[in-house]
Amino acid sequence: MRAYSAEEVRQRLAFFPEWQYSQGALVREYEFGDFLEAWSFLSRVALLAERHNHHPEIWNVYNKVRLRWNTHEAGGITERDFTLVEEVDRAYAAITRAHSK
């Protein structure tokens, strides 16, 4: 599994504008209406991470969640990280859509 160069990461991030490339990882903070909504999202993230056997660093304070993803074995960002970025963004959209009704 090949790690992307910093320039390749920046080019790919054009498709994920909410994500940042920071200290060798992809990072995004999500905000929810309350703790329960945030926890619902984290449950989905956990299931996705297990399915792909690729686990993020997670921070949660009340209604805020921050995820940090990189591929340790490759020493950087790989396609695997972008796959999870896309899937967790879809999970976020589903959670926020469901809770806004």
pTM for the model stands at 0.90
Q: What is the pLDDT of residues 1-58, one digit of tens each?
A: 889 999 999 999 999 999 999 999 999 999 999 999 999 999 999 999 999 999 999 9
**What's the total number of domains in the chain?**
1
| Structural domain range at position 42 | 6-99
Specify if 62 maps to a domain. yes
Report the catalytic residues. 50, 54-55, 72-73, 81
Q: Which of 25, 31, 19 is nearest to 62 (CA)?
A: 31
Specify if 1 maps to a domain. no
Specify if 51 maps to a domain. yes
DSSP one-letter string for 12-33: HHTT-TT-EEETTEEEEEEE-S
The CATH number linked to 35 is 3.30.1360.20
Specify if 86 maps to a domain. yes
Specify if 88 maps to a domain. yes
Block residue for tokens 């009340």: 62
